[in-house]
Structure 1
């Protein structure tokens, strides 16, 4: 089987190609395969996983601006094929209470941490993801002053006294988008399951309990040879008539007032620093964005691509007097970053009934190459688009 890969951008793409096939192809390649460049013969490190109604082969690839490549999946019989289907961290008693890794392993996934050559991520029952260390610089990437841990859900609901008050309770919210009696709940990590580990990536599922959702879990995917982590937030949202909000904590970077590390977003492809490149008197709580957000220093940066949730919150999640840009009190507001994932306050671009299954993705990459907002935002754009790949004859 041959696939064509293409980079439509005017800058290089370093990403992971996804070759998608029908489910019956699994029997053809399950015992061994390899992915090669048709022209150069280059062999790519690859990994297989079964997906609903199909099979996906993933491998890292770099494409220069406008470059095309053709790759070929060839059947190769092997006895030691690694797939992303299962691992040995769960014993025959179905308990996951052994750390079977060794110090010689460059890539480890257990029930309490992920450790790659680029990052170590740790979590704790109840708290969630408590540490995210860049192993190149030994720097903790999560803010010390954070109110919530990484990708922890925060839910609030303002109850109406009766059905007739559903409109009135919203009218009284004003710029808070929640009432003074809003009930705020923070997600609690309850369960961890190692899903896969292979030559390209490994995935762990963290399951939380949070009000407003009958299911909320994170699929955290770390890569063997790249400073990047993908997080897929999967949830089954309850249908709630009363006004509600669901936020996801993204506590990377520094306070918004920092001069050494600045937050950048893109608005209609224009790079903007919230609260710095906006009009005096404009709202300083939430912002629409295009591709994502980036924290940039003179030496490095972190890019957070957000393909599914184009609304962020920087202001306090609590009800109170809202501050407009230019207000001196904003100098005391640290500006914690959240993805404002769901709400039923507005009736135009949001459904008034939010119940159902959803998945929202967040793609996080970091390193020295992201020391300018232009490069960091291009990384967000590239990760959101992915590598274009399609099967050819």
Structure 2
């Protein structure tokens, strides 16, 4: 016999909505704190093995509860200090829309509470999402959080191929001892599947059968953790009936309700030197849902960039940001980015009141985050520019060379601008976005003041600058080549199926989303749950797209207009004259379609040998190599950039708005256990409605998406990539004092 102790980790799975009206569910989750206090208090004088214990899966319900005047603060804190109730570190369940700042700010809320009230805080938990950014072990370890307890949803993922527990090591060396639930027992509902809340006799038999199965498979530890939770469901004091019965009939083993800390500390006490160490990213299979709302995800990403920019500007100007607006932007962003997006009927009944109302309440959070971030910047810059003056502030600690969008009031008439050092800004308008752009060169952290001046802008050139040249098909607008003139070579794969920056529509040839995965439980083989259908894919630049060449003093652009099934598009490929930078701007007008479909943008790069590097939430990993076995392979989340190396040069893609990519090929529906690819092709996955629940069933209306690209000689440099991405995404703050 190996398993002597069984720890039942009882919690509710915190879905901010999903099971009902979002507002009502959030209220229930907060009130559930009172229920847990009552349940714990009722058994606090019982023997240790017969006490009721409760785990707060994330800190949001606790922090919201403590805002209420009727909160039983002292009782709650006493239970937390005693260890009968557990506070955990994550604020909500994150998606890959979280950046590093989001993790640090939100985790610090629980850390601050623990510090102020002298509470233990040893564990972080995440449930549902089968993956979390690689920065997390470093962030947790730096705050003294030693343990990570995960319950990955198996419906839209493959299981981790690792022995549990294991030490998960972050890119900076921080480690957390990590446990994850087993896929055969329905992640956090393990205890319910085993019947622990039902007949104690049957439950005991089920647990013993499961123990024998694990031991026969080579499970080698003296203890086992079983999660028992369900979406937004209250504490179950009747679990103690199972505990008492099991301990009475199985004296050689002991079962008890426990906290994560109790389980992990016992594990370490018994086996502390035996756990393996794994260093690698844990890409999230659920990240595909972030492309189910392209406009809202873009709002969330833009809000974060503005907050980064305003933090830099405030430091350089010696000003203070409006704390209330910053908090509003952060809170709305966190609550949008967390994993509960829709009602459980969001796809099965997309036109129902429940689905529509839930999504309306969710999506407004992204808009509110962006609105508050913009208001933060507007208030921060107020009064900075005199009348007739244009002030540009480089918010970063690296020199900025790039485009700047000017305020509408500063573009009433075409003009040039000159600063005190003699730098001249010329302007040019984009017919695609309606913006007026100037090209500017700013030193690191610089504040430069410009005034309007007379002068003739330089003569426009073709679709070429000193760095790049684009060749295209005059009939379709399809890009035939992208040449780096400094390297003297093409950056594209001339044999690729899809042309550079083309838009691709995808559907299932026969059937729909149900033919891509199996939502049933109880499957013994994970591959059996993964149907692999045939797809039909249609490119946007294989018909008439009315290409148009636009030349100006700031940039030259190739503009095409066309359509793919269910969407009209305008695509602008923009080469700036001042630097090795190529921007792609895609304006989509999406029509409603509740059947499965996806949209991609193709980047078929030529560099060999194949090597693709992904940055997400401040951590960089090589796709397919530096990731945990069983983590997401078919798609990856990108924070600031994806880099393609090989062949003596590097190509960098910075997605401003669309956070998902597929590497090597379009992999949707493959469910690969390991990512292997022979070509350095990258596909930006801009839209999908792949999910059967939670996420929106359709997208509609206009959205504008942007990518910035560059290339350089030599091997991939994370520092150089970060500098380009920071400039492209965070950029320059602009203040205009009004026309003189």
- TM-score, normalised with respect to structure 2: 0.42
Question: What are structure 1's unaligned runs of at least 5 residues?
Answer: 83-104, 109-113
Q: In structure 2, what is the equivalent of residue 310 of structure 1?
A: 659
Does residue 10 of structure 1 match 2:397? Answer: yes
Q: In structure 2, what is the equivalent of residue 354 of structure 1?
A: 699
Of 208, 211, 225, 2:565 maps to: 211
1:368-379 equivalences under 5 Å are 368=713, 371-379=716-724
For the 8 Å contact 2:513–2:595, the answer to whether it is kept is no
Of 716, 727, 731, 1:386 maps to: 731
For the 8 Å contact 1:127–1:189, the answer to whether it is kept is no
Q: CA deviation at 1:139?
A: 0.8
Say which is worse superposed, 339-348 or 364-373, in terms of deviation. Answer: 364-373
Distance 1:316 1:35, change over 3 A: closer
- How far apart, CA to CA, are the structure 2 residues paired with 1:45 and 1:106? 15
For the 8 Å contact 2:554–2:576, the answer to whether it is kept is yes
For the 8 Å contact 1:314–1:338, the answer to whether it is kept is yes
Q: In structure 2, what is the equivalent of residue 339 of structure 1?
A: 684
RMSD: 3.3
1:103-118 equivalences under 5 Å are 107-108=461-462, 114-118=463-467
Of 467, 470, 485, 1:121 maps to: 470
Does residue 322 of structure 1 match 2:322? Answer: no
1:247-286 equivalences under 5 Å are 247-254=600-607, 258=610, 262-286=611-635
Of 281, 288, 294, 2:637 maps to: 288
Q: In structure 2, what is the equivalent of residue 56 of structure 1?
A: 436
For the 8 Å contact 2:513–2:692, the answer to whether it is kept is no
Larger Rg: 2
- How far apart, CA to CA, are the structure 1 residues paired with 2:428 and 2:488? 32
Q: CA deviation at 1:319?
A: 6.6
Q: In structure 2, what is the equivalent of residue 135 of structure 1?
A: 485
Say which is worse superposed, 239-248 or 126-135, in terms of deviation. Answer: 126-135
Distance 1:50 1:301, change over 3 A: closer
For the 8 Å contact 2:460–2:551, the answer to whether it is kept is no
| Deviation digits for residues 140-178 of structure 1 (CA, Å, limit 9, x no counterpart) | 0112442211111121123786xxxx7745654999999
- TM-score, normalised with respect to structure 1: 0.76
Q: CA deviation at 1:307?
A: 0.7
Distance 1:239 1:159, change over 3 A: farther
Identify, as 1 or 2, the structure richer in helix. Answer: 2
Q: In structure 1, what is the equivalent of residue 417 of structure 2?
A: 35
**Any idea what SS the aligned residue of 1:190 has?**
coil
**Any idea what SS the aligned residue of 1:379 has?**
helix
Q: CA deviation at 1:279?
A: 1.5
Q: In structure 2, what is the equivalent of residue 95 of structure 1?
A: none
- How far apart, CA to CA, are the structure 1 residues paired with 2:613 and 2:581? 19
Identify, as 1 or 2, the structure richer in strand. Answer: 1
For the 8 Å contact 1:234–1:358, the answer to whether it is kept is yes
- How far apart, CA to CA, are the structure 1 residues paired with 2:531 and 2:417? 52
- How far apart, CA to CA, are the structure 1 residues paired with 2:656 and 2:555? 21
Q: CA deviation at 1:49?
A: 2.6
Question: What are structure 2's unaligned runs of at least 5 residues?
Answer: 1-387, 520-525
- How far apart, CA to CA, are the structure 2 residues paired with 1:287 and 1:53? 28
- How far apart, CA to CA, are the structure 1 residues paired with 2:548 and 2:578? 19
For the 8 Å contact 2:645–2:715, the answer to whether it is kept is yes
Does residue 68 of structure 1 match 2:447? Answer: yes
- How far apart, CA to CA, are the structure 2 residues paired with 1:311 and 1:320? 15
For the 8 Å contact 1:178–1:319, the answer to whether it is kept is no
| Deviation digits for residues 187-242 of structure 1 (CA, Å, limit 9, x no counterpart) | 225234436322221222122332232x1221111112321111101121221111
Distance 1:335 1:225, change over 3 A: closer
- How far apart, CA to CA, are the structure 2 residues paired with 1:167 and 1:335? 28
| Deviation digits for residues 81-114 of structure 1 (CA, Å, limit 9, x no counterpart) | 67xxxxxxxxxxxxxxxxxxxxxx9821xxxxx2
- How far apart, CA to CA, are the structure 2 residues paired with 1:380 and 1:178? 38
**Any idea what SS the aligned residue of 1:277 has?**
coil
Of 339, 358, 365, 2:710 maps to: 365
For the 8 Å contact 1:14–1:61, the answer to whether it is kept is yes
Q: How many residues align?
A: 342
Does residue 239 of structure 1 match 2:605? Answer: no
Q: CA deviation at 1:347?
A: 6.8
For the 8 Å contact 2:491–2:607, the answer to whether it is kept is no
**Any idea what SS the aligned residue of 2:720 has?**
helix
For the 8 Å contact 1:189–1:206, the answer to whether it is kept is no
Q: CA deviation at 1:121?
A: 0.6
Q: CA deviation at 1:365?
A: 1.6
**Any idea what SS the aligned residue of 2:487 has?**
coil
- How far apart, CA to CA, are the structure 2 residues paired with 1:20 and 1:289? 29
- How far apart, CA to CA, are the structure 1 residues paired with 2:629 and 2:515? 30
- How far apart, CA to CA, are the structure 2 residues paired with 1:388 and 1:369? 32
| Deviation digits for residues 9-54 of structure 1 (CA, Å, limit 9, x no counterpart) | 222222222222338x52xx44xx33111x32x1314124377998
- How far apart, CA to CA, are the structure 1 residues paired with 2:603 and 2:402? 22
Distance 1:36 1:155, change over 3 A: same
